[in-house]
Amino acid sequence: MPIDRSRRRRCCGKHAPDTRYVTDTHTGSHHSRGVALDVTLLDHAGLALDMGTAFDEMNPRSHPFYPDLPPQLQRNRLLLNAVMAAGGFIGIASEWWHFELPNAMAFPLLNDRFACYGD
């Protein structure tokens, strides 16, 4: 069941989101199916490793295999991908932090208030 238009406005505001980075609410995101995670890695002190962009920074530098990053940042992203793959998750082409279960579309939309991140 898709999220209704009034919930979409409360969640996303009046601005039309860039569909390369934000899912149409009529099809639903994999987060709203309960099968996707946004994650990063922490060092021993609990500080996030540098991945080259901020979390939820929606631009080509955020793509997991963006080639023009320093080698250490590429290694950090590869490590995150390896850890998540070992847990059975797959990444997406546009966000280094996003991982989901295979066949995510097979799961139903939850359509609850938490699908909109605290709505």
Q: Cα separations (Å) of 7 from 1, 16, 47, 77, 100?
A: 13, 14, 34, 34, 24
Identify whether 95 is a catalytic site residue. yes
Give me the catalytic one of 95, 104, 115, 116.
95
Spell out the residues 6+ positions from residue 117 whose beta carbon is closer than 8 angstroms to its own. Answer: 11
The residues that are catalytic are 95
